[in-house]
């Protein structure tokens, strides 16, 4: 019988869809003894999973509950097959991206300040914010109090399953979509990552949803930020280190761009870090996939992968095949 270890923080009811012929073994949060398992479902939080790993023996397959698995192969080594939860969190993450874009274009962070102040007339300060970030000094009446998403030029950097879901959710806004992935494709048109610098100057919104790797480390650095047009919105739902934080802070403090971030580098972002107090930025503490459906969706994906594994079929979400 296949022994499957999972975090004890998850309810056993969530495993009702798992195939017969497996023994489910709850791994306690503070594991202090050796446990023999064949398949490991790591905790959602890497720090907890990393603490558990030295006590596990016999692991041949890892079924992650997150799409981002960059920390797992170095932990478990090349002899273990690692699968991601690709597809499980598409909706929640894509919805965060849409909400973040709309929040910034509708000036919600500013209007929260207005609400806390209790001064209605402060709303007209939005016109000055628009002029400062956009560089648009034309006399506009009535005063600008927000911006529209419809018709904006969006550069989608990363065209995996989440990127495609973001595109689907943006369709009602009739945006002009430009896609970027590791390599170029024709149907639909996707640009290669090497073309990124030539595409940045035309984008009004840049969405980052690439996997983190050596190739995407600091994909957005000072030169790329300088290429972005005045007032462009950078949305990072990938990993914090896809962007050079110091360069981003400089661009925000200079009033060149604005940003919506669900991920940061470092993460957690320390109290007092200068990024917290930058102008024109919305920060959420890595919340993008953490809906009530996160665990059920991830475990349905894991169950399907486990069935393929037990039946000797090709696995779907392999990020590392055992050497």
DSSP annotation of 50 reads H
Tell me which of 113, 176, 267, 313 is the catalytic residue: 267
Cα distance between residue 45 and residue 22, in whole Å: 24
Give the number of other CB atoms < 10 A from CB of residue 303.
18
Q: Say whether 273 is catalytic.
A: no
Q: Say whether 267 is catalytic.
A: yes
Summarize the chain as % helix, strand, coil (round to 5): 40, 20, 45
How far is C-alpha 198 from the geometric centre of its chain's CA atoms?
24
Cα distance between residue 253 and residue 275, in whole Å: 9
Q: Say whether 55 is catalytic.
A: no
Give the number of other CB atoms < 10 A from CB of residue 58.
13
Tell me which of 179, 191, 239, 256 is the catalytic residue: 239
Tell me which of 122, 182, 286, 300 is the catalytic residue: 286
Please report the beta strands in the chain, taking only residues with DSSP state E, as ranges in sequence order: 2-7, 22-27, 35-36, 39-40, 56-57, 61-63, 81-83, 153-157, 176-181, 191-192, 205-208, 233-236, 258-261, 281-283, 318-320
Catalytic residue positions, numbered:
239, 267, 286
């Amino acid at each position: 019988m296949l022994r499957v270890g999972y975090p004890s923080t998850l309810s056993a009811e969530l495993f009702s869809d798992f195939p017969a012929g497996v023994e489910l073994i709850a791994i306690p949060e503070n594991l202090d003894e050796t446990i023999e398992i064949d398949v490991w479902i790591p905790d959602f939080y890497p720090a907890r999973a990393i603490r558990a790993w030295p006590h596990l023996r016999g692991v041949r397959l890892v079924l992650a509950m997150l799409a981002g698995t960059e920390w797992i192969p170095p932990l478990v080594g090349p002899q273990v097959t690692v699968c991601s939860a690709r597809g499980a969190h598409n909706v929640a993450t894509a919805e965060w991206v849409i909400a973040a874009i709309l929040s910034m274009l509708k000036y919600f962070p500013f209007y929260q300040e207005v609400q806390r102040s209790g001064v209605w007339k402060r709303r007209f300060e939005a016109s000055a914010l628009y002029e400062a970030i956009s560089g648009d000094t034309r006399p506009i009446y009535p005063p600008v109090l927000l911006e529209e998403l419809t018709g904006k030029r969006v550069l989608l950097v990363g065209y995996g399953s989440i990127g495609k879901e973001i595109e689907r959710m943006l369709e009602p806004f009739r945006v002009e979509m430009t896609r970027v992935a590791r390599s170029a494709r024709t149907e639909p048109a996707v640009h290669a990552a090497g073309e990124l610098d030539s595409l940045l100057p035309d984008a009004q919104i840049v969405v980052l949803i690439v996997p983190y790797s050596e190739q995407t480390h600091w994909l957005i650095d000072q030169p790329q930020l300088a290429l972005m047009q005045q007032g462009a919105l950078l949305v990072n739902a990938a990993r914090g280190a896809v962007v050079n934080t110091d360069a981003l802070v400089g661009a925000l403090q200079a009033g060149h761009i604005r940003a919506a971030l669900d991920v940061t580098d470092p993460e957690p972002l320390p109290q007092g870090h200068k990024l917290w107090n930058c102008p024109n930025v919305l920060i959420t503490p890595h919340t993008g996939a953490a809906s009530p459906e996160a665990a059920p969706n991830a475990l349905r994906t894991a169950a399907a992968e486990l069935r393929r594994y037990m039946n000797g079929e090709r696995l779907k979400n392999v990020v590392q095949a055992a050497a």
